[in-house]
Structure 1
Amino acid sequence: MNESDDEKGQEARITPRLIDSLYTEAMILADEARAYFDEAGRDDRQSLEPFARVGFACESLKVTTRIMHIVAWLLTQKAVETGEIKTADGRRPERRLGHANDSDPIVVGQLPEAAQRLINASTDIYARIQRLDEGQLNDEPAPSPARALMGRLERDLIWNRNG
């Protein structure tokens, strides 16, 4: 059975349910990262070589940055869905997902398993959100009936003046 264009469009659409699910996932990850990097990970960090300790600190900041950008993007999507923000134009720069630096696989490989798990989880959810954000850019805006009417009126006015 072939899917209609409407069904494909609905699958790709960012729904309130998807936003809520991703928001919950991001907040759980944020809580886990805070608990690890601020508390449980202190002993792990102290057991590392000095260079790896610096890498641990940098990667904890990268995890935090990814999560911050994800949560901000999801909250913006919620505001668009509820009408708090009047337009759903994802092309506007302030509504795009913020840039987060990639993790260095060599540095990540030197870190404790718990840190690696959090880094990989943050990278995974960030990549999923990034695909959603980029998908908004690839969507052509729906043709506006008002703009089409204005175009016809302009053509008619020009035709009448010249004809």
Structure 2
Amino acid sequence: MSEPVRQSATTIKLAERRVFSASFKPLYDEGMGLVEQTAEYLDGDGRAAAKGLSRIGATLYAAESMRLTTRLMQIASWLLLQRAANSGEMTREQVAAEKTKVRLDTASAQEGASGWEELPAAFKSLVDRSLSLQSLVRRMDDEIYGHGAEPVQTSPRPNPVSDQITLLHTAFGRT
């Protein structure tokens, strides 16, 4: 068994350096841009595309849209807190206390879910981009503030709606 690695007072935390410097702006812009792009898509092309989905696809689209917007709002909250610390509006301690309300663990149904293949490519791209950004932000958060949250479940979770639909099909003899 190896001994734990100890960080010295001179260890440079790259995530902390990025968040608390001018190099934070591109990350902030990326996150807020993704929020804006997603809102535009869901209110426009996504709404139209969802009308052409099967019942299972439409249900998955609605559920995944909620996960997507929740994930992005949590990321935006984290980014806004870091920007406040970066600009001196809040201390790091205040940010650390406030960020306990932010969850960086919103999972996705992903490819294994029934109906996933029906979802529009643009929508799936937004989901993938949001998951990548969430992963990056989570790693930075862990490095800056320490570990403490449960890891994001990356394997597809059972879809309770799909499970209920399957039970209904079984009960009524349809496949």
* TM-score between both structures, scaled by the size of structure 1: 0.71
* CA contact 1:90–1:136 (8 Å) conserved in 2: no
On the 8 A contact 1:63/1:119 being kept in 2, the answer is yes
Instruction: Report deviation, 1:81.
Output: 2.0
Quick one: which amino acid aligns to residue 116 of structure 1? K
Runs (4+) of structure 1 exceeding 4 A deviation are none
One-letter code aligned to 1:81: N
Note the residue ranges of structure 2 that are not aligned, 5 or more in a row: 1-8, 148-175
Counterpart secondary structure, 1:77 = helix
Contact 2:21 2:86 survives alignment (8 Å)? yes
Aligned pair partner of 2:74 in 69, 80, 88: 69
Find the aligned partners of 1:86 and 1:101 in 2 and give their Cα distance.
Answer: 27
Deviations along 1:47-73, one digit per CA (max 9) or x if unpaired, are: 111111011111111111111111111
In the other structure, the counterpart of 2:99 is: 95
> CA–CA distance in 2 between the matches of 1:62 and 1:18?
29
Match of 1:43 among 37, 45, 48: 48
Pairing 1:20-59 to 2, within 5 Å after superposition: 20-59=25-64
Q: Higher mean Cα deviation, 69-78 or 15-24?
A: 15-24
Task: Kindly state the Cα deviation for residue 15 of structure 1 after the two structures are TM-superposed.
Answer: 3.0
CA contact (8 A) 1:52 1:110 kept: yes
Match for 2:33: what amino acid? I
Name the larger-Rg structure.
1
Q: Is the 8 A contact 1:65 1:100 kept in 2?
A: no
Q: Across the two proteins, how many residue pairs are aligned to each other?
A: 134
Q: Which has the higher helix share?
A: 1
Question: Per-residue CA shift, 1:63-115, capped at 9, x if unaligned?
Answer: 111111111111111111222113346653x2244244211122344311111
| Aligned sequence identity (%) | 26
* Secondary structure in 2 matching 1:9: coil
Matched with 1:12 is 15
